[in-house]
Structure 1
Amino acid sequence: MDYQYLNFGTRVIAIGSVKDDPPINLSAPFAVLLPAANKVECIEAGRRIVTFLAMGCIEFCCVGKAAEFLHDTIDEVIEDKAGFEVVTTYDLDATEGCEYFLFAAGGGSTDLLALVSEHPSLLNSLKNKIVS
């Protein structure tokens, strides 16, 4: 799938899926929003963590019913890599998680990668916040 790019103030949001290869034109540093609907999805997202760290990800935002599980999984990877300057957050609520991602993730100044294209509720929540 091709990534969709949206402008949000001075930030660019790349929207795709966890199953997509990461976009090669994403500027570091960046923050990533990962859906966490269930543990299977979390395991799939977890396979991308090392790649995202190598690309310059400075914050992982996990949203969904299994967000705490994914958050803990990411923390283990970060600790193994001694990447203590990387932030991880989680939220069970889609609206609150998307608000945080858009307005606070990465200190409010980095580009954003939202891997939510297969999650209409998360995608709509993001787009509604961008428009309003």
Structure 2
Amino acid sequence: MKPTTSSQNSFELLNIILLESNFKRDVEISYTDEEFKSNIDIGIENQLKDSILFVEVSLTYSSGIEDNKEIQAFIKMVGVFKCPNNSDLSTETFGKINAPAILFPFIRENLASVSMKAGISPILLPPVNFVKLSQK
């Protein structure tokens, strides 16, 4: 009997692809100012072709004081998943919740790594509840 790594009834991750990664920072950053705030925006798009689901997750990050964005980042990754023949989980639900939850740690790592290379403390994004995000 040949061992298998995936079930006929589960989604299979085929690939994770970094589509875009941009990072910009000012020379001086006002971390100590009380007005210094961060903003995070997450976008999710799905496309189904045959039995392959492409889930694109984008992150826009900015921080600074009011309109002066001292740190800016944009990261876009796509996960490529093979859809099962039959599953208790719909492709729509998987694409809005499960797939982004699989991709998000890779986005978090990308931002933390590039921010360290930029000479600042690593930007550690908080975990995201994709169930709540999908309900918005």
Same fold judged by TM-score > 0.5? no
- The structure with higher relative contact order (CA 8 Å, sep 6+) is 1
Q: Give the TM-score, by structure 1 length.
A: 0.32
Please identify which structure carries the higher strand content: 2
Normalising by structure 2, we get a TM-score of 0.32
- Relative to its length, the structure with more helix (as a share) is 1
Which has the larger Rg? 2
